[in-house]
Amino acid sequence: MKACPEYKDTLLLDLYGELEQSERAAWKDHLKTCEACREERKRLGNLLSKVKSNMPSPALSPEQSNILTRSVMREISGEWKEKQEQRKFFFPMPNRLVPALQPLLC
């Protein structure tokens, strides 16, 4: 049996514990009536448990953690700089003048 395609995302969110409270009641009601989704949930739950038990998350050394943090911060900084460059293109005036012009624009 295959699980209902419209509940595919809901099933995965439920298994990972990320299902919104507002969706949880409807999902539980659906599980009561749909044997295919119950079986798929059970099957995937067992698979995830086996994967988690056989492949624990690797521990990062402090050096690896710092490298990862710096990499993420560089990405964030690059996105921020890109947005600043786009703003300069569309709004070439210095930022300090913008509040002074606000009453004129409204």
Same domain, 9 and 49: yes
Same domain, 50 and 69: no
CA distances (Å), origin 73, targets 45, 64, 67: 34, 14, 10
Same domain, 49 and 9: yes
CB 62 within 8 A of CB 27: no
Same domain, 73 and 99: yes
Same domain, 69 and 96: yes
Task: Indicate yes or no: pTM above 0.75.
Answer: no
pLDDT tens digits along 2-46:
788 888 889 989 988 888 888 899 999 999 999 999 999 999 999
Same domain, 69 and 48: no
Residue 56 to residue 66: CA distance in whole angstroms: 21
What residue numbers bound the domain in which 19 lies?
5-54
Same domain, 50 and 70: no
Mean pLDDT score of the chain: 80
